[in-house]
Amino acid sequence: MTDNLFQPYALNNSLHLANRILMAPLTRCMSDAELVPTQEMADYYARRAGAGLIISEATIIRPDGQGYPNTPGLFTPAQIIGWRKVTDAVHNKGGKIFAQLWHTGRVAHPHFFNGQDVMAPSAVAVEGSVPRMRELTYVTPKAVTHDDIQQLIQDYSQAAANAIDAGFDGVEIHGANGYLIDQFLHHDSNHREDEYGGSPENMSRFALAVVDAIIDRIGHERTALRLSPGAYFNMAGDKRDRAVFDYILPQLERRHLAFLHIGIFDDAMEFDYLEGRVSDYVRKHYQQTLVGVGSYTPDHASAAIANERFDLIAIGRPFIANPDYVEKVRQGKTLTPYSDDMLSTLF
Ligand code: FNR
Ligand code: 8K6
């Protein structure tokens, strides 16, 4: 029984979702050379408009946020026009769509932006190289100055305003998966000794400043955030990180976001310093709308929602394999299994 997945859900007074299934943000590396979304991308998203809400693939807020080839942007007029095609196509099919706003921080590669500096909280490199471009090894970033931080906050809020111009229903700030905002929230990547590092309050300051700047620009009803309290990607965990998330979650509750979304690939993973699963940890500290994710089947998602472990489910890889995921689940049809080969085309 998965009936509860098909209940409507009000995120707030202005945003009503037709069901509780979100399409998770999924990087596809298919925008054109100017990082403009294409007609194929508009068609791809429109085929998935049955989701209660689509969250777009991560979209860079400025050139030095780029860490992978052909990831779309939201900082040029052409990119805004390209996204407008996508949002119109989704809306014409009765769907809703948020833009995921991204800066990869130390996971950026200067190959994509003329060799300029890579920006991060501290000059601590991430190990490894760019997926599918293994010749590009990650470099030691520049620790951002206070001026850099002010500019980044401004660029996030401008990208949020651009998202609204492009017709998005709101934005999800990408604060997860080891990228820039997450880099401030973990000790592995944040070694600062100024007001952006050292204590939970200081380590949360950049994330909250971005959230507040975007809320000022587009309103709390249209602002959401993704966080990864459990470090699992581009990041090493540290038991001191727990205090940072203990601090930021109640701070976020005061902001009345559209929702908070967990960033994880498999929600069965347990973290010692969180005393279990990330979703259970967040639920204890955050009472408002929570989006679960991470290797869920429809049955498991339905049970988790029934048990109030979270309110909405985001589905990633199965949505790549099944554009009609929502209809198939509703009708009890068999789902096509996901495989990595599917990433080479926008089916
Ligand atoms: C992802 N994920 C991801 N997360 C994110 O916040 N922004 C992104 O752009 C991407 N891109 C992305 C690409 C691909 C190919 C995969 C497989 C995953 C993570 C994704 O949103 C989700 O959290 C995970 O895929 C776990 O959910 P599923 O796939 O188990 O339902
Ligand atoms: C050209 C490559 C595009 C990369 C997109 C970035 C999104 C990340 C998806 C890669 C999957 C990595 C899985 C890591 C999970 C760790 C679980 C312990």
227 domain-assigned: yes
* Domain assignment of residue 210, given as a range: 3-317
Q: Is any atom of ligand 1 closer than 6 Å to the C-beta of 95?
A: no
- Mutating to test ligand 2, I would choose from 56, 57, 68 the residue with most ligand atoms within 8 A of its C-beta, which is 68
pLDDT the model gives residue 120: 98
Residue of 9, 138, 156, 179 marked catalytic: 179
> Contact, 142 vs 117, CB < 8 A?
yes
161 domain-assigned: yes
Q: How do residues 31-48 score in pLDDT, each as one tens digit? A: 999 999 999 999 999 999
337 domain-assigned: no
Q: Residue written as tokens 């997450």?
A: 182
CA atoms within 13 A on the CB side of 121: 28
Q: How do residues 236-246 score in pLDDT, each as one tens digit? A: 999 999 999 99
Q: How far is the CA of 193 from the centre of ligand 2 (A)?
A: 31
Cα dihedral sign, 180-181-187-188: negative
Q: How do residues 190-206 score in pLDDT, each as one tens digit? A: 999 999 999 999 999 99
The candidate with the shortest Cα–Cα distance to 272, out of 250, 249, 242, is 242
Looking up residue 92, the CATH number of its domain turns out to be 3.20.20.70
232 is catalytic: no
61 domain-assigned: yes
254 domain-assigned: yes
Of the candidate ranges 1-5, 179-183, 252-256, the one whose mean pLDDT is the lowest: 1-5
341 domain-assigned: no
- Mutating to test ligand 1, I would choose from 21, 27, 31 the residue with most ligand atoms within 8 A of its C-beta, which is 27
In this predicted structure, the answer to whether residue 65 has a pLDDT above a threshold of 90 is: yes
Torsion on CA atoms 107, 290, 173, 208, rounded to nearest 10: -100
Take residue 168 and report the two structure tokens written for it.
């998005």
In this predicted structure, the answer to whether residue 250 has a pLDDT above a threshold of 90 is: yes
pLDDT the model gives residue 1: 79
Cα–Cα distance, 49 to 98 (Å, whole number): 12
Residue type, 229: P
Q: How do residues 3-20 score in pLDDT, each as one tens digit? A: 999 999 999 999 999 999
77-92 vs 146-165: helix crossing angle, rounded to 10? 40
For the segment 209-229, the average pLDDT, to the nearest whole number, is 99
Ligand 1 atom at minimal distance to the Cα of residue 176: 6
pTM: 0.97
For the segment 88-116, the average pLDDT, to the nearest whole number, is 98
In this predicted structure, the answer to whether residue 211 has a pLDDT above a threshold of 90 is: yes
Name the domain count of the chain: 1
pLDDT the model gives residue 302: 98
**Which residue's C-alpha comes closest to atom 9 of ligand 2?**
27
330 domain-assigned: no
Cα–Cα distance, 84 to 321 (Å, whole number): 25
Q: How far is the CA of 126 from the centre of ligand 2 (A)?
A: 14
334 domain-assigned: no
